[in-house]
Amino acid sequence: MKEIDQLLLSNRAWAAEMLAENPEFFNRNVNWQRPAFLWIGCSDSRVAPDQMTQAVPGGLFVHRNIANLVYPDDRNLMAVLDYAVNVLEVEHVVICGHYGCGGIQAALDGAPEGAIAHWLKHARQVLNDHRSEIEALPEGEERVNRLVEVNVRDQLLHLAGAGPVQKAFQAGRPLSLHGWVYDLRDGHIKPLMRIDKDTILSEVPKPERVLV
């Protein structure tokens, strides 16, 4: 059977199972969503936020891109952020990277020319900002995984400075930003840092190394 057909069959089986457990499972999400979280993560196929958090449909508002990057001229992400914060009124925004990230590896190695190289210029900037620490580590996984961690930190700072977040902070709304890393080896999420309206952004330190 072709893989695409299997996806459709699996969808039918899942829908039938959900209805058997709760006849109102789909009706409750037809008219509106009220997630508590905006999840900004990597596009990597091994990192599925709904699955690894066991979130129900409607629990996570999700945006994913290669290497979980945040920058102000990404209109797609800024639209997602604006909608999540100002319309859905989420109280938590998570940036979740993952160890062994191919995008971060490409930023270290030098991505080939094209759209990926253009996209990863922001990840290479993270590398440049932390180059002395990264290059002091042995080549290979240690460098990649430490760059994953400091990338989450730097992207969280970009997020904290974005207009919708600053507006919510200034209004005193209960909004918190969380920097996490997912470990492919054991399936665990490792919290790195947290930012809220009282955080002085210029004083946010680099996170302690979680994976050593």
Catalytic site positions: 42, 44, 46, 98, 101
Rounded to whole angstroms, the Cα distance separating 194 from 178 reads 5
**H or E segment and range at residue 22:** none
Q: Which two tokens stand for residue 201?
A: 């952004």
Amino acid at the residue 78: M
Supply 104's token pair: 């971060």
Do residues 63 and 77 make contact, with C-beta atoms less than 8 angstroms apart? yes
Maximum Cα interatomic distance, the chain, rounded to a whole number of Å? 57
* Phi and psi at residue 194, to the nearest 5°: -145, 140
- Using an 8 Å Cβ cutoff, are 36 and 90 in contact? yes
Closest CA to 75 of 163, 140, 12, 183: 163
Is residue 52 a contact partner of residue 27, using CB atoms and an 8 Å limit?
no
